[in-house]
Structure 1
């Protein structure tokens, strides 16, 4: 039986997919997980009613979260994914042959189970790869107990800040995380829609800039999220926005990465360039710089 699958990115906005079909629903210890079939984006899953990943457009989000910072780094070998139970971020990281170890710290084992069963195209059997280590549990606890100077890349593939992942979007957690990052390391995280979440995005950017020397915003349209979507990179030394297009193309070729669906060197500069209207929406909430 079909139904309208509706999402509310803010109290005064709604969008969705008519004629969606519920495939599976599980109430885990942490959240409600639902898997849906849609005509527009194929199979997707939600957490507590929020859209997470769809087979029709997951490559947009995952490629932008992974490849700009992975290509900016000259030779990444280790990566940490916070969340990422659908395996999409790990799958993209595995495209870089120099990466020897990927740790995926996912809170909810049911997310892994359901997405492995119902969204195989997203994970691409990433969790069966010997380079990937899946850790089920609180990502904050994993980071607190982790040995120092382990990771060159960190991907925040988490639910938004107003969710069970709230404690991971804080200055205190960024400081803990920096302890586990090697010199020259970088992280990426998603921020939200500048049209629906401008105040939240500005707060996240203020906290990131207080913790890291180099913070850059990225933006691209993600159909599942119904809007232009903002992400960010953060590092004390690495600036992916400053990498030349020729260098990006050379690194893609050297690493044998030739089948991406969305990201390419020609769009790299545009990914890091926010329009005037987006800058205006954020500026009213950002703290003034000194």
Structure 2
């Protein structure tokens, strides 16, 4: 299936990680030019290199989403090298495991900036030109905790949840201009973040990582963790011309994990 995005410019935040890297490669495989942004410049470079090795055009950006003043400069560099952003993938890192009560307000502010306000600011920067051009895709990667809050991930549940209301509202504001906005929710995907959370849970509960991971797998109807490429395939489809009538939606890529309707 031709997704119709050859020659489009995609900006993938968190593109040096497991999910972000897979998304960047999936978009590149469809002919998109990809800007890979990550707080770790070496990780961004690795992903960009893998994209270029596939024959696509890529650029790497060392980008700390906690620094709001850098947004315009980074977007301008993407526009100068690859052209206006047609596809924005808002994929941010997650906060450490935590309760909700008794967290330092400064901790809330720090992660609100990097996980929520950064997404809003970057989208505000690229969306006007998408609307002018009559085409755009804004895809925000969240967490299963936005549907069924995950015990021990208080900051993540609360902050990522706010992006659902934002994305749904934005979708209605820009739909008539050919711009779609959707949220993609990963379940347990086999990435470094998932391994980190398994280790943290094992330490809290005084169990082995193997026991914790086995219990997690047992809760997934398909009986395994997802692969990053499976998640990336869903994002690539939402970025496509084929998905022009899908907007304001929350798409689960979870192997059946989330039990709620």
TM-score (norm 1): 0.44
Q: Greater RCO between the two (CA within 8 Å, min separation 6)? A: 2
| Between structures 1 and 2, the one with greater strand share | 1
TM-score (norm 2): 0.48
